[in-house]
Amino acid sequence: MPLTLVTGPANARKAGVVLGAYRAALGSAEPLLVVPTRADVDHYRRELAAGGAVFGVRVTTFGGLMGEIGRRAGVRGRALGPIARERVAAAAIAGARLDGLAASAATPGFARAFLALADELEERRIEPGRWYTALRAWAADAPDRAAYAEELGALYGAYRDRVAALGRPDRALRDHAALDVLRTEPARWGGAPVFLYGFDDLRPVQLDAVETLAVHAAAPVTVSLTYERGRTAFAGRGAAFQELAALATEHVELGPAEEAAPALRHLERTLFEEEEGAGERPPAGDAVLLLEGGGERAELELVAAHVARLLRVGGVEPEEIAVVLRSPAERAALVEQVFGELGVRVALERRIAAGHTALGRGLVALLRCALADGGADDLL
């Protein structure tokens, strides 16, 4: 079955093509619509329902797609969760003999950073032996790297050994196992069409899943990718485009929408491009507003004040406003404080210690009463 690749810049009506094909597939199959986040799942379920598509609609994230692949492939058992993986990584680090990495390994963020490396290696199907070989080759011409390379190789091997000893793979290993089964037994998938929409780029395991479904399981797969040939702004996802284009039997290339505000259209067309040939710059009007502050907090105060005006005067719905930060998790507390001072409620996703929340403190107090020496104050 064919792989259909839909590409175009932002606001190129890719959604119309993909969702239109998804609606058409509902009449004869049980297609899956795969989107990047849980918020997208809710949004597109509502959009499809508004258009009359209710029964048979299945919208999920990529994790949900991999869960469905695992179920059909017969891969049993749950993958290790994030907390369990951190504990396994911490045990592997504690059990390793480290000299060059000893100071780094003692810091709180080392285990999480190591897991990010392990994720990248596993997604690319790099086994510990191959990792060892690559590190030793890297250190061959620089003896001062040798100890660092050996310890880094040993850590990855120790982590994989502990995961294997538990008998429960982490998510990347479980995903690869499911895809491998589907490649050898493609009939297990059953031919359900799959539509991927909203992804700016695809990770190696996602590209692997697309190839497995479209080429090996012969399922109709449609993938949309924000990409346009020759544009500097999209150069970073050129590798994903080339891989998909090589597999695709149909490539739908869409151009930019013309109904956007002239200033926004000009900005989209010229972002990161050379000024020559960019054409006359239209006036910004109210389409683009530049806010300059004397520091991080000052900038956020300007943004929060503008958001408050949009909500109270401009009539903009809250869910239509997005505040984009380079590192949301690192700035979450400041964002919450600044926006809260202006009475603007925000939806944030961040990691905080359970004991720093009201629910967490209550749970810890109850556990203290049940298992330790908690008293009346803890119970109350």
Tens of pLDDT, residues 85-129: 999 999 999 999 998 899 999 998 899 999 999 999 999 999 999
Q: How far apart are CA 87 and CA 84, in angstroms?
A: 5
Question: 42 near 263, Cβ under 8 Å?
Answer: no
Q: Residue 104: how many CA atoms within 13 Å on its side-chain side? A: 14
Decide if pLDDT at 1 tops 60: no
Decide if pLDDT at 11 tops 90: no
CA nearest 62: which of 200, 164, 185, 163?
A: 200
Confidence band (pLDDT; 50, 70, 90) for 330?
confident
Question: Mapping DSSP to helix (H, G, I), strand (E, B) and coil, where does residue 6 land?
Answer: strand
C-alpha distances (whole Å) from 185 to each of 27, 190, 204, 217, 221 are 27, 11, 21, 8, 18
Mean pLDDT of 202-216: 94
Say which residue the tokens 């556990």 belong to.
367
The pLDDT mean for the chain works out to: 89
Mean pLDDT of 265-286: 75
Model pTM? 0.79
Q: How far apart are CA 97 and CA 93, in angstroms?
A: 8
Mean pLDDT of 373-380: 76
Residue 259: partners with Cβ closer than 8 Å, 6 or more residues away: none
pLDDT at 84: 93
Question: 321 near 339, Cβ under 8 Å?
Answer: no
Indicate the burial class of 43 (C-beta count within 10 angstroms; 0-12, 13-18, 19 or more): middle
Confidence band (pLDDT; 50, 70, 90) for 255?
confident
Phi first, then psi: give them for residue 4, nearest 5 degrees: -105, 125
Confidence band (pLDDT; 50, 70, 90) for 77?
confident
Question: 255 near 6, Cβ under 8 Å?
Answer: no
Residue 93: partners with Cβ closer than 8 Å, 6 or more residues away: 105, 110, 111, 114, 155
Residue 117: partners with Cβ closer than 8 Å, 6 or more residues away: 156
CA nearest 93: which of 9, 14, 151?
A: 151
Confidence band (pLDDT; 50, 70, 90) for 276?
low
